[in-house]
Amino acid sequence: MGREGLARIIRLPLGLWRHPSAWHGAGCGRSGGVEYLRLFGAYPTHSGLLGRVVDEGIWATFKYMLQQRPGLVFVMLGAFLVMVYLLVVRGGVMVKPRSRRATQMDGVGWLSVVRLRGTAKFESLQTPDHAAVVRSRRCRTRGTKGRNMTVATWIVLLLLSGPLATFAQQWRQIETGGPSARRNAAAIYDRIADRIVLFGGRGSSGDLADVWTFDVATESWQSLPVEGAGPTARFSHNAVHDAHGGQLLIWSGRMLDASGSTLLNDVWAFDLITNSWTNLATTTTVPVARYGTAAVFDPDTGTLVTFAGFTTLGRFDDTWRFDPLQRLWQDVTATSPQPGERCLHAAAYDSQRRRMIMFGGQRGNAALDDAWALDLSTDLWTALPPAPETGGRKFPAVAYDPKGDRFLVFGGERTDSTRSGDLWALDLQREVWSTLTTAGPPARDGAVLVYVPSRGGRMPQIILTGGTTAEGNADDTWSLQLEDPVTAVAASESTLPIPSLAAYPNPFNANVVLESQLATRGSLTIYDTIGHRVRNLGRLSPGPLRRLWDGRDDAGRIVASGVYLAVLETPTSRHLRRLALLR
């Protein structure tokens, strides 16, 4: 396997895979006829291997353990001291308080407090790999006895990397009562309320039409009372979050009852403020009724985007957009390239590149392992690398991690009808697949996976619930805290200012002017005091906001005197202003 092969074993669990040449190890060497002891590799702009291990591996784990497992901090520190002992004392490098100290070695700052045992001169030789070196007449320093210190380094880091990686990323089952056992439900994350909202699915007694919320802060489920009539019970439908409209959109699905199977193509909106449903019925052309499709919400156009699915006419490969404000469908199917006909696939929204990432599904009897990206600015598809060694997946659970810039895939059913319980990640920058975890929730398909961003010192995580296991439909809930990759925070992870909403005159008897300043897109809606929508004042662009409400509803009718609520909503905040109308 060789030195580079062993180095790769070390780099992977410690987060060093982004910089393959960062690893050089320690040992004796020769450059330009000069014998030296190579301590470890160094980048001109970084502090070498040890510094990078601390930054990306040990430090990330240390933060996690402080938050979740403070008792293990002492275990980690003890293991780290063992590594320092082997590297410094046994390796021939030690701290000598009275010795002359080197100030810097090729950017390796921690060497400013150590010196080589014996006579040595610190230099930075221009070796091909820019390694920090110590020039010495005797490389056979006490403790190493001429042996390559790289071996000791490998041993220590291998011993540390397993436990540290385990502590940093480990599934945890949440012991809480929640929705009844079900499969093929759909859910979204409501950032404003810091909760997950779940609808429907299929349980042991049939199809479901209930709404549940999971409070992320308290890790508790709650059944949500709903105002008025809502969608019919269903499973294998899609749910997307229209943050601008403050609503959950449900589309498509399947019903199974005594009369047989019914496929659906209706769209419903669940208002996240009033807990009420609205049927977004349209008289225009609609997609063929289907289930097992995949959908995301495009915030730039305010539309639901959906691809493929199973219909009474077979599997389709069409792409559609739905505008919930105008209640209009648009067929945006591209001619080529195309992912091909399929159903039972899944998709997530890539917020950094404004793309729909789609994976897996079924065609014929085979589960698929391909991945595709739909550019939502052009509605054109691009093939991504297929997932390796997965055996294909249908009914996978997927999510997008904006901080890690990766597409996550959990579970699913393979072509041979076995279920998976591993978690894969597709790095969307390098377009490389890797396995994150294999131990955790029992293998399953048809589960729900939701990404929850960091908040108030809480690390980002994914929440998994439901699905079908070898024991039947599941009702468990699991959490996996994601390691903190060294990447820029996406816009969706950043904290945007919360706008205020001014209204004048207030009270008013004819017109009221609403003003604010927006840092991002949003929407403005008027409600009555029992939560019914009165007037939609439209989508808003970043910048100054000024809207006039003339005291009429969406149908143009004059509303009665009373108290109304103006609700300004952005992807990161919701602001209410009471309005008093006096006729």
Note whether 212 and 147 are same-domain residues. Answer: no
Range with lowest mean pLDDT among 244-253, 307-316, 431-440, 572-581? 572-581
pLDDT at 228: 82
* In the predicted structure, residue 12 carries a pLDDT above the cut 50: no
Name the domain boundary from 449, 465, 493.
493
Q: Which two tokens stand for residue 372?
A: 């595709």
pLDDT tier for residue 69 given thresholds of 50, 70 and 90: low
Name the domain boundary from 142, 168, 194.
168
Run of H or E including 319: strand 314-323
Question: Coil, strand, or helix at residue 413?
Answer: strand
Instruction: Decide which of 318 and 132 is more confident.
Output: 318
* In the predicted structure, residue 67 carries a pLDDT above the cut 60: no
pLDDT tier for residue 382 given thresholds of 50, 70 and 90: very high
* In the predicted structure, residue 145 carries a pLDDT above the cut 50: no
pLDDT tier for residue 583 given thresholds of 50, 70 and 90: confident
| CB-based contact 333:340 (threshold 8 Å) | no
Note whether 115 and 236 are same-domain residues. Answer: no
Q: Which two tokens stand for residue 159?
A: 């011993």
Q: What is the overall mean pLDDT for the chain?
A: 76
Instruction: Decide which of 104 and 294 is more confident.
Output: 294
Note whether 124 and 232 are same-domain residues. Answer: no
- The listed range with the strongest mean pLDDT (175-184, 524-533, 562-571) is 175-184
pLDDT at 72: 63
Closest among 270, 112, 259, 69 to 187, alpha carbons compared: 270
pLDDT at 568: 87
Instruction: In whole angstroms, give the CA distance from residue 301 to residue 539.
Output: 10
Instruction: In whole angstroms, give the CA distance from residue 267 to residue 31.
Output: 70
Note whether 421 and 446 are same-domain residues. Answer: yes
Q: What is the pLDDT of residues 267-324, one digit of tens each?
A: 999 998 889 999 999 888 999 999 999 999 998 888 999 999 999 999 999 999 999 9
pLDDT at 43: 29
CATH number of the domain to which 366 belongs: 2.120.10.80
3-state helix, strand, coil in the chain (%, to 5): 15, 45, 40
Share of the chain above pLDDT 70, in %: 68
| CB-based contact 238:252 (threshold 8 Å) | yes
Closest among 102, 141, 140, 148 to 123, alpha carbons compared: 102
Q: Where do we find the tokens 């975890």? A: 437
Closest among 479, 437, 486 to 458, alpha carbons compared: 479
Note whether 468 and 506 are same-domain residues. Answer: no
Buried b (16+ CB within 10 A) or exposed e, 128-152: eebbbbbbbebbebebbeeebbbeb
pLDDT at 494: 36
Crossing angle of the two packed helices 73-88 and 149-168, in degrees rounded to 10? 170
pLDDT at 44: 29
* In the predicted structure, residue 404 carries a pLDDT above the cut 70: yes
Instruction: In whole angstroms, give the CA distance from residue 258 to residue 206.
Output: 10
Strands 419-427, 406-413: pairing is antiparallel
CATH number of the domain to which 512 belongs: 2.60.40.1930
Instruction: Decide which of 362 and 166 is more confident.
Output: 362
Sheet architecture: strand order including 502-504: 502-504, 512-518, 543-549
Question: Coil, strand, or helix at residue 192?
Answer: coil
pLDDT tier for residue 152 given thresholds of 50, 70 and 90: very low
Q: How many residues does the chain have?
A: 583
pLDDT at 62: 55
Range with lowest mean pLDDT among 95-104, 180-189, 546-555, 572-581? 95-104
Range with lowest mean pLDDT among 127-136, 156-165, 517-526, 568-577? 127-136
pLDDT at 84: 59
The residue-averaged pLDDT of 562-566 equals: 86
Note whether 59 and 139 are same-domain residues. Answer: yes
Note whether 374 and 508 are same-domain residues. Answer: no
| CB-based contact 139:28 (threshold 8 Å) | yes
pLDDT tier for residue 443 given thresholds of 50, 70 and 90: very high
DSSP 510-535: S-EEEEEEESS-EEEEEEETTS-EEE
pLDDT at 569: 83
| CB-based contact 132:106 (threshold 8 Å) | yes
Q: Where do we find the tokens 């497992």? A: 69
Note whether 506 and 533 are same-domain residues. Answer: yes
| CB-based contact 3:150 (threshold 8 Å) | yes
Note whether 107 and 236 are same-domain residues. Answer: no
Q: What is the pLDDT of residues 198-232, one digit of tens each?
A: 999 999 999 999 999 999 999 999 999 988 899 99
Q: What is the pLDDT of residues 227-258, one digit of tens each?
A: 889 999 999 999 999 987 789 999 999 999 98
Note whether 526 and 538 are same-domain residues. Answer: yes
Note whether 155 and 184 are same-domain residues. Answer: no
Q: Which two tokens stand for residue 271?
A: 């208002």
Note whether 147 and 177 are same-domain residues. Answer: no
The residue-averaged pLDDT of 128-138 equals: 35
pLDDT at 371: 97
Name the domain boundary from 462, 493, 524.
493
Range with lowest mean pLDDT among 6-10, 16-20, 159-163, 410-414? 16-20
The tally of domains found in the chain comes to 3
Cα distances (Å, whole numbers) of residue 98 to 114, 116, 245, 262? 11, 13, 68, 84
Range of the domain at 308: 171-493
